[in-house]
Copies of this chain bind each other. A is one copy, B any other.
């Protein structure tokens, strides 16, 4: 698995959108309308106070993307929130956990001391396993917080990990 991660640039957007769009259209993981237009999706994915990255393998094929941003403002801005999407062709090969771990290193470098996910759809078992592999723990669950297109109301987990320099991330 040779791959590398770089900060997303404006010229990456078409590639990023090619990964986001099928995930958003499937409607099984993100709190966006399934028919979200590209402009609204871009506003959701890219924030002025956030960081966006794109991972590619050694043939420049896109592996996945993520965003990283403060979960809250002011006195809560030392905890980050993040979201990931792995390209369909790259799934099942461990990229989700690896990308999450890389984003934790990035978050540490940006000064964040914790990482929090606010809505991890409970039916996304592979995703939850990947985040747990990256050290994220379920710290709470909201019953029926997500309307899944096939499963109906599904629980959503809140996950958290404290980020620490000196090996705390690279487990």
Contacts and interface: CB of A to CB of B under 8 A. Distances in A.
Contact of A79 (B34, B141, B145): B145
A27 B75 CA distance: 8
A119 to B, nearest CB: 6
Residues of A in contact with B, size category: 35 or more
A148 B162 CA distance: 18
Interface string A58-77: 00000000000000111111
Interface in A40-69: 44
Nearest to A70: B31
Given A139-B140, A142-B139, A158-B158, A72 B119 contact: yes
Given A31-B74, A75-B148, 10 more contacts: A27-B74, A31-B75, A32-B74, A34-B75, A72-B118, A76-B147, A78-B147, A114-B144, A116-B145, A140-B140
Interface of A: 27, 30-34, 36, 44, 72-79, 113-114, 116, 118-119, 139-149, 156, 158, 160, 162
